């Protein structure tokens, strides 16, 4: 294979930074046609198309995203060489870009990231949002993995894998009661105001079916779609919370809240959605493997496209 022409790589990087071939050509003081030829030669040498044209806009392909990261690594290595010879060293870090559903438990997100938080060679970027927004970011290679407790809709164009990395039973939690024997789960459900997920969450339907089986008429104090808010309202005494134990783990450990029982038949599943790519981020695989083998993990199965 012929040696890589680093001038071509520099031109490619300039196009990405400028956002358009004509703007990059003006900055480099070359003609757009000459710059286009340089880009075509680089694509031919790498054997992959680096941009897709959408209207007048150039959008990086997956191969383009890999080429950009490699180009930046090469340019950073050059800078590190200069810095090292001047006695000022700097270590290049690999970006790990994670998307997380805005309503997802923060404790779960932290547990997923724990294997890499202390690594000096990894730069962590976490973005929160709705499912549609995050799936668009995954498709556009702006994030490497998506953490969610809800599977996104799938169609014939879908190209992703959902790794089941955690399952937790759903508990009823509330403030510590008087010392002595705790009341039964059925008694608490019938007596106390409850903070429950909204109807968009599958847990709500499962909970209502359980209440019907138990013959309990429950009192709903609040409906929330954000686990962080459910945790806060429960901690502040607005009612008893219906949530996975991981959501209120810190409060349970500190004795601020008490677990009154596990709600039979209810469970929350946690997924890591990874795109089907020729050049996957290797850190994603190691994180998924660590999460799937962590203590408390129940079973293992991946949902392929």
Instruction: Name the packing angle between helices 32-46 and 6-18 (round to 10°).
Output: 120
What mean pLDDT value characterizes the chain? Answer: 84
Can 94-166+270-303 and 168-267 be said to share one CATH topology? Answer: yes
**Class of the 168-267 domain?**
alpha beta
Calpha distance 110→172 (Å, rounded)? 23
Q: Is the pLDDT of residue 135 over 60?
A: yes
Q: Give the model's pLDDT for residue 256.
A: 92
As given in the structure block, the two tokens for residue 169 are: 């039973």
Q: Is the pLDDT of residue 305 over 50?
A: no
Q: What is the CATH number of domain 6-85?
A: 1.10.10.10
pLDDT tens for 33-83 read 888 888 898 888 888 898 888 777 788 888 888 888 788 777 777 766 665
As given in the structure block, the two tokens for residue 39 are: 């880009």
Calpha distance 11→23 (Å, rounded)? 12
- In order of 55, 119, 270, the CA distances from 171 in angstroms are 51, 34, 16
SS3 state at 25? helix
pLDDT tens for 64-73 read 888 887 887 7
pLDDT-derived band at 232 (thresholds 50, 70, 90) equals: very high
Q: Where are the beta strands (DSSP E) in 130-218?
A: 145-148, 160-174, 193-197
Domain limits, the chain: 6-85, 94-166+270-303, 168-267
Calpha distance 245→259 (Å, rounded)? 8
CATH number for 94-166+270-303: choose from 3.40.190.10, 3.40.50.2300, 3.30.70.1050, 3.30.70.2740: 3.40.190.10
Q: In percent, how much of the chain has pLDDT > 70? A: 88
């Amino acid at each position: 294979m012929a040696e890589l022409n680093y001038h071509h790589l520099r031109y490619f990087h300039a196009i990405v930074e400028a956002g358009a071939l004509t703007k990059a050509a003006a900055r480099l003081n070359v003609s757009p046609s000459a710059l286009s030829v340089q880009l075509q030669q680089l694509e031919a040498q790498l054997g992959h198309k680096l941009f897709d044209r959408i209207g007048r806009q150039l959008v990086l392909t997956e191969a383009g995203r890999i080429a950009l990261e490699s180009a930046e690594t090469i340019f950073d290595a050059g800078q590190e060489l200069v810095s090292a010879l001047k006695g000022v060293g700097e270590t290049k870090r690999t970006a790990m870009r994670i998307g997380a559903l805005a309503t997802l438990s923060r404790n779960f997100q932290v547990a997923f990231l724990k294997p890499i938080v202390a690594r000096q060679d990894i730069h962590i970027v976490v973005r929160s949002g709705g499912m549609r927004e995050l799936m668009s970011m995954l498709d556009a290679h702006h994030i490497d993995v998506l953490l969610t407790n809800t599977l996104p809709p799938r169609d014939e164009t879908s190209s992703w894998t959902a790794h089941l990395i955690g399952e937790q039973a759903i508990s009823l939690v509330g403030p510590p009661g008087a010392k002595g024997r705790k009341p039964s789960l059925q008694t608490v459900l019938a007596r106390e105001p409850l903070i429950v997920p909204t109807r968009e969450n599958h847990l709500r339907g499962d909970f209502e079916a359980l209440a019907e089986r138990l013959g309990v008429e429950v009192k709903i104090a609040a409906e929330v779609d954000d686990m962080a808010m459910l945790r806060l309202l429960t901690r502040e005494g607005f009612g008893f919370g219906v949530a996975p134990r991981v959501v209120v783990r810190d409060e349970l450990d500190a004795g601020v809240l008490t677990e009154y029982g596990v709600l039979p038949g209810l469970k929350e599943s946690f997924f890591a959605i990874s795109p089907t790519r020729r050049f996957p981020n290797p850190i994603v695989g190691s994180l998924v493997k660590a999460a799937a083998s962590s203590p408390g993990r129940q079973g293992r199965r991946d949902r392929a496209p």
